[in-house]
Structure formats: C-alpha cells, structure tokens
Chains A and B, each alone.
Chain A
Amino acid sequence: MKKISLLLLFLMSLFTLRAQDDVSFKVISKKQVVVGEQFQVSYELKGESKKFESPNFNDFELLGGPFSSSSSSVQIINGSVTKTNTHTYSFYLRAIKEGKYTLPAATITVNGQKVKSNTMEIEVVKDNSSISNNTPASAGDGGAKDVFLEAIPNKRIAYLGEQITLTYKIYYTIPISNLTISKAPSYSGFWTKDVTENNGVLQQSSIVKNGQEYHVATIQEIVLIPQKTGILTIDPLDINCIAQIRKERQQQRGYDPFDNFFGDIMGSSYTNVKKEIKSQPIDIEVKALPTKDKPDSFKGAVGQFTFTSKIDKTEMKSNDAFTVTLTVSGKGNIELLDIPRPVFPPDFEVYDPKITTNTKNNSFGMSGTKKAEYVVIPRVSGDFSLTPTKFSYFDPAKNKYVTLESENYNIKVERSNNEGSSGIIYAGGQEAIKVVGSDIRHIMTRGNLHKADTLLFASPLYYILLAAMAIIFALALFFYNRINEFNQNQVLVRNKKATKIAKKRLQNAYNYLKIKNQEHFYEEFSQALWGYISDKMNIARSQLSMDTVKEMMNSKNVPEDIVNQFIELLNSCEFARFAPGDPDKKMEDLYQKGLEVITKSERSLN
C-alpha cells in the first residue's frame, strides 16, 4: 500500500514536472518604440490554458485587445509525436511619453495552476525622424521641420455645389525622393476630381516660410464639390518619402556603422530615411444655397455659366428631323449639372438627348461645356414655336441666382407628301386630345364679397319679408273687396237713377218737340232709351247694340212684347234721325210710346 502511494506520488510529481516543462508563457514585444507609435505586445503560451488575466498597462495607451489566437502543430520525429498548442494574446498599445518602462506580467491558469509570464523592459524614445506628424504651424521653432506637407483650400466657406480647389504642397529643405501617397483621404461629403497637372514631375520652386527657405512642390490638386451642408472635415493626406538626412548620431535610430563608414568615405554624411508625413486636417463649412428667390428652373448648377441654344433649321417638312442643341459652358460644377429639357410641342417626336461633356480642369477649378443634343421629328405640319428654355444657376461670387433663357424659335413645318401615310402615328386619321399637363382651374376674378354670417333664412329680414307679403296680400284682398262693394253700390245707384234720367231726357226731347227742333228731339230721345238700358244693365254705352239689348232684356226676364216694343222704338228712332221730315204728330206719338215702354220695363226689371 505504501509502495503504491509512493509510486503514485512519484508519478504525479513526474507529470507535474512534465507539465511545467511543456508550459512556456512569455511576453513578446519590440524593445524600443517611438513616442506616439503603435506597437503590439503579445503574450504567448505554449500548452493548454484556461483563464487569461490581462495585465494593466498603466504607462501606455491601450488601443485594443486582448485578441486571442491559437495555433497547434504536430511534429513527428523518429516516431515520437510532439503536439504543440500555442495561444497568443495580443494587445495594441501606444507609447505616450519617453522613458523606460516595464511591460507587466500576465497571469494564466494552466492545469489549475497560475502561471505568470515574464516581464520585459521597453524603451520609449523621442521621435525625431518623423517631423511632419505635427502641423506645420509648429514648424517655426528654429527650422526643426525639414519636410512637411500642407493642404491649402482656396476657400474654407463654400456654398453647396460650389467648387473648392484643394492643393497639397510639400515643403522641404532636404532632398527627398520616392514620394508615394500612402493614404488618400476619403473626402466624404464631396464630389472630387483630381486636377493635378504635374504629369508625375514635381515642379519645384522656392519660398521663404517662417524665416527659412523651403523648396515647394505641388503634389496634388483636387477639385472638391460639396454635396451636403454642414462642417465637413477633410482627413489628412499621408505621404511616404525617402529623405536624405544629415547624420546626427546621438539621436539616430537604427545606427549603422557601415553606412557611417561609407558615408564618411564618400565624403557625405547623409542617410536615407523613410519618412511618413501628414497634412493637417481641414474643416470646410458648407452653406446651404439661399432659398430666397430660388427660381423653379434651378437644378443645382453653381458657378458662372453661359447658356446658348442652336437649331440647325427652322423650316422643314413634316417627318424631317432637326436638331436642337443646348449648351451650358462656364466655370463650376459642370459635370454635375443638368441641362434643362426644352418643352417641345406635343406633336413632335423627341429622342433622348445626346449629352457630351467637355471639361478642362486646372488649379482654378473645373470649367468646360456641356451639350445636350435633341433630335426632333415633327410629325405634323404647321407653325410651331419652341418656348425658351430656362436655365438657372447660383453665382456664389455675386451671391445670387441667375436665370438665362434660350432663344425662342419659330418652326415652320410644311406638309410633306407622306404625312398622312406615315401610318404608325395616325392610323385612324384622328387622335384623342393629348393631355399636355394638368393643373387646377384658375382663380375666380369676381369677388362677390359679402359680410360673413349673413344668412337670410330665419333672419329678421326673412320674417319681415314673409310678413310683408302676407300683409300686402291681405290688404289687397281687403281693398279689392271694398272696391268691388263700392262698384256694386254704384251700379245700384245708376239702376235707381235710370228711370229718373231717362224721364228727364224725354222731358228735354219734349221741349225740343215744342220748338220743332226735330234733330235734337231724336238725339235726346234715343239718348234717353240707350242710356236707360245702359244704366239698368250696367253695360257701357259703346258696347250696346240692338242684339245685345235684346239679349240682355231676355236674360232679365223682361216680357217679350216690351222687348219688341223697345226694339221697335229704337229702330224707328234711328230711322227718323237719318230720314228727317216726319210730322210733329209722329214725334208726339213716339214720345208717348217711349214714356210707356220705360215705365213698363221699369216695372218688369225691378
């Protein structure tokens, strides 16, 4: 039993030893870094692991990590198999300030045992080779900067769509070569066009800046057209170059005795150093275009432009094609603008325009011409006019919108022989009216204004009018009845007086009879008879005749003999009036008969 336990103990110790042998946990890093440099620190573990505890990097800025990765390898040597698992935990750090630091140890649990990695000394040195990491503004201190890059925009405040030229210039006092752009900015928010004119050869010139003479070369020129408003930041441009630097031993990194040696032999003390230089970031404020007085025809053109139109012919036959060309030329965002589409008469067949852009780019910006060529076929004859097309742009220099108009063309289309037979379009010879556009109906010109809330119904005026009409109606009826009544009375009066008047007239006639005035006697006598009937029957004298008299008397139930006597009297009276010369005797007789008839009929009429 004891033996067994001893054996176990031995085996276990053996295993642990073995495990200890297998596990190696160490830190891997650069020994020397420059201030501001990013570097990687890895903790590498060979063997199986469980729990990794990150160390605290107090003296560095932790940019990322831990990122773990693992690999395994299997080795077979002379039949013995060795399997190795490697786990790496990486950190990305940045050195903050110079000095000597210790990379701390990390802890990991392997087979239930905590294992610590080793620590490592790391030296952070001052960066003196890469000068241009800082802005050129700080370059003034005693000409410490021998190479730097500057980004120069021609304006820092621009309107949306206004072009900006950005020039990258490199300033250097030491020879440089192998310029390569390592990272170009993304220019987000801008439409860009590289307008560099150097053809790969840097044109250098000299300039005194900050009290030091620099060589200057333009590396890149870019036209930027802002596509959105707000403050847009242009990221720095990164450039790598090889600079020949005079040796300053005590501060050189990567000191090479051979180089030094050869440098001295060759009579020069320069060394080639790879340099990474950056331009400063630039903020550009992009203003929105003013909304005031913005014409409808404005479609985003910003700059200075001219607008022309051309037509190849204005007289043609139907189905003959002609070409209308609209040209916009000038300085501005010519590649981005739209040429307005002219309005053609609806009977014209218009093909999609052929658009050609011809731009010239230089450091003053983008300029050029944009042409839209329309091929148009008039399908019917007639006189047409092409209304001018409007093109608007915003002039940032004058800070206002400008609208240009194309020419007005009058087109005369003569009837061609095959107009009717072109068939495809006018199959039926008739066509429905083409709706060219739709809009609301126009405003009304007559106001017919009235005071609000003047409703007639249930208003006092309404009731007054209703009542007034009712009252007028009632009054009218009332007066009508009164007048009627009055007239009735009048008739009655006349009726009553009829005999009296007739007798008076007969009396007059009798007087005439006495003085033998035949004419007046008959006149007065017939007046008496007719007047009597007229008053009695309430009929106007003019409406009376022999027939009506007879009719009226019959209707009033006057006895037939009296009626006949009456008529006979009237007849003889009329006869005597137109045939005078009757004896007095007859007149006397007539008078007596008249008296008798009137008295009789008076009796029967009442």
Chain B
Amino acid sequence: MKKIIIAILVLTTTFAALDAQVIQEQAFAKANFYYNESKYDTALVIYENIIEEGFVSAPLLYNIGNTYFKLRNYPMAILNYEKALKLDPNNEEIKQNLSIANSLITDKIEPMPVFFTAKLWKNIGNWQSANGWAKTSLVIFFILTISLFLYFTTHSIVIKKTTFFINILIILLFICSLILSSQKYKYMNQHNEGIVMTPTITVKSSPSASGVDLFVLHEGTKVEVLDHTDNWDKIKIADGSVGWLPVSSTVKF
C-alpha cells in the first residue's frame, strides 16, 4: 500500500513538472511569435517570465539576447548571449550574434594571445555543454564496464589482449571526461564573469574611489572577476589589464 502511494506521488510530481514545462514551451512559442511581429517589448516580458518560472535553456537566453539587440540594448544582449554560450558553448548562431553585438559597443579590446595547448583544451571542453560532458562520462563508463566484462569473461587470448589495451584507453578517456565534466561543473557554478552595465566607468588601481584612474570601460564590455571585496571587484579584461571596479557597475553571469 505504502509503495503504491509513493509511486502515485512520484508520478504526479513528474507529470506536474512535465505540465509546467509544456506551459512554458507554449509561452516560449508565443514570445517567438511576438518577436516575429517586431513586438519586442511584449516578447521580452514573456521570455523573462519563463526565466522567472525557473526554466532556462540556451535557445531561450539566445532569443532574449536577440530581443535586447532589436531593442538596441547591446549590453543586455551581450549578457544574454554570453549566458546562452555558457549553456551551449559550441552554437554557431550564438557566437555569430555575440560577435555582432560586440562590434556595436564602444570598447574594442585586442584579446591577449592564448597558448595553443590551453586553447586546444578549451576547444575540446567546448565540444559539449556541462551536462553533455557529464553524460559523456557516464556513457564512457558504461562502455568501460562492457569492455571490462569482455576482458574478464573471454577465453580467447586475442580478445583478452585487445580488450586489455582498449580498457586502458577507455579508462584514460573516462578520466579526461571526468576532468572536463568537473571543470565545466565548476565553470557553471562560479559566476566570475561580468558585463559592464554602466555607460562609462573608470577602472581604479585599488578598491577605493580615491584610487588612481587606470583606464575607462564602457557598457557592454566583458570582464573577468578575479577577486572581490564588499563593494569592489578586481577585474581583468581581455587584453590582460587588471583593476578594480565597483561591484554594482557589472552584472555577473
């Protein structure tokens, strides 16, 4: 009896969750309709409401970015594109629109060259989203169990020898996928990147208003937050320059 009640509870909660998802998908379609009708304000309200309901996805954030773009709010567009890219790091459309939006803001920063191995590792990491890597690690683990099973049960020496090497390879792959998953997991959970939202702001040499003015940033510029005090963020921009900004001048993602 108890089991049945639990089963019913589990089922109803799942259905409720599914139902909420269907409702939000409908809202998403409606917002898309308004976007196509060039009613960007209305579309934006509906999109933002989906976020408030606790749902998220790369296409949703991308569409919000597009809506802000059409409303000529480029910093918010960039923020949402960046958020979308975080969820779906390899999406060409998001990358394309982000670069267009970045070309319309005031600051043009020449990025610091990255060492090619770091770049390669980053690119490999970008093959999949965080959940994608987690799933990949699970799949590799599954393959590993099958391969190990084969290794332990086979009578053929040839199969045993080949599966031995295959197992080593799969274990290495599994470790890689675990590392990537955990890196992605950390990246998703830490919000140490931000977009400048103040039209113009001076970066200081120390976390106080009396600090020396180092350089000036404008809205829409992406910064990396290295450290922070109560009211100040230590930030780094793409060309490697470091300084302090008031916490309120950027929105973190």
Residues of A with Cβ closer than 8 Å to B?
438, 440-452, 454-458, 462, 465-466, 469-470, 472-473, 476-477, 480
Query: Closest CB of chain B to A164's CB: distance in Å?
Result: 34
CB pair A447–B25 under 8 Å, yes or no, is yes
CB pair B63–A443 under 8 Å, yes or no, is yes
Report the Cα distance A473→B56, complex, angstroms: 36
Residue of A nearest to B58 (CB): A448
CB pair A456–B135 under 8 Å, yes or no, is yes
**Interface status of B148 (Cβ within 8 A of chain A):** yes
- Chain B residues, CB < 8 A from A476: 149
CB pair B50–A457 under 8 Å, yes or no, is no
Beyond A443-B35, A466-B141, 11 additional pairs, beta carbon < 8 A: A440-B66, A441-B93, A444-B59, A447-B59, A448-B59, A449-B25, A449-B50, A449-B55, A455-B131, A457-B131, A477-B153
Binary contact readout B183-215 vs A (1 if CB under 8 angstroms, 0 otherwise): 011001100000000000000000000000000
Known contacts: A452-B55, A457-B134. The answer to whether A440 contacts B97 by CB under 8 A is yes
CB pair B148–A473 under 8 Å, yes or no, is yes
CB pair B149–A446 under 8 Å, yes or no, is no
- Chain A residues, CB < 8 A from B141: 466, 469
Residue of A nearest to B188 (CB): A455
CB pair B54–A441 under 8 Å, yes or no, is no
Known contacts: A451-B54, A452-B54. The answer to whether A440 contacts B188 by CB under 8 A is no
Pick from B57, B63, B100, B184 the residue with the most CB of A within 10 Å.
B57
CB pair B97–A449 under 8 Å, yes or no, is no
- Chain B residues, CB < 8 A from A473: 145, 148-149
- Chain B residues, CB < 8 A from A446: 59
A452's contact among B28, B56, B93, B145, by CB below 8 Å, is which?
A: B56
**Interface status of B167 (Cβ within 8 A of chain A):** no
- Chain A residues, CB < 8 A from B148: 473
Report the Cα distance A472→B35, complex, angstroms: 50
Interface residues on B, range: 35 or more
Residue of A nearest to B101 (CB): A440
**Interface status of B142 (Cβ within 8 A of chain A):** yes
Per the 8 Å Cβ criterion, residues 119-146 of B in contact with A are 130-131, 133-135, 137-138, 141-142, 145
- Chain A residues, CB < 8 A from B221: none
Query: Closest CB of chain B to A564's CB: distance in Å?
Result: 31
- Chain B residues, CB < 8 A from A449: 21, 24-25, 28, 50, 55-57, 60
Query: Closest CB of chain B to A50's CB: distance in Å?
Result: 54
CB pair B100–A438 under 8 Å, yes or no, is yes
- Chain A residues, CB < 8 A from B101: 440
Report the Cα distance A443→B69, complex, angstroms: 11
**Interface status of B62 (Cβ within 8 A of chain A):** yes
6 A–B pairs (Cβ distance < 8 Å), ordered by A? A441-B96, A445-B59, A449-B25, A455-B188, A456-B130, A465-B138
Pick from A443, A454, A477 the residue with the most CB of B within 10 Å.
A443
Report the Cα distance A416→B66, complex, angstroms: 45
Report the Cα distance A602→B69, complex, angstroms: 91
Residue of A nearest to B35 (CB): A443
Query: Closest CB of chain B to A368's CB: distance in Å?
Result: 34
Residue of A nearest to B24 (CB): A449
B32's contact among A445, A465, A469, by CB below 8 Å, is which?
A: A445
- Chain A residues, CB < 8 A from B248: none
A440's contact among B28, B69, B152, by CB below 8 Å, is which?
A: B69
Residue of A nearest to B148 (CB): A473
Report the Cα distance A457→B125, complex, angstroms: 14
Query: Closest CB of chain A to B25's CB: distance in Å?
Result: 5
Residue of B nearest to A473 (CB): B145
CB pair B149–A448 under 8 Å, yes or no, is no
Binary contact readout B60-76 vs A (1 if CB under 8 angstroms, 0 otherwise): 10110011010000000
Query: Closest CB of chain B to A298's CB: distance in Å?
Result: 15
CB pair B55–A444 under 8 Å, yes or no, is no
- Chain A residues, CB < 8 A from B50: 449
- Chain B residues, CB < 8 A from A448: 57-59
B138's contact among A442, A451, A458, A462, by CB below 8 Å, is which?
A: A462
Report the Cα distance A566→B69, complex, angstroms: 92
- Chain A residues, CB < 8 A from B8: none
- Chain B residues, CB < 8 A from A456: 130-131, 134-135
Query: Closest CB of chain A to B236's CB: distance in Å?
Result: 26
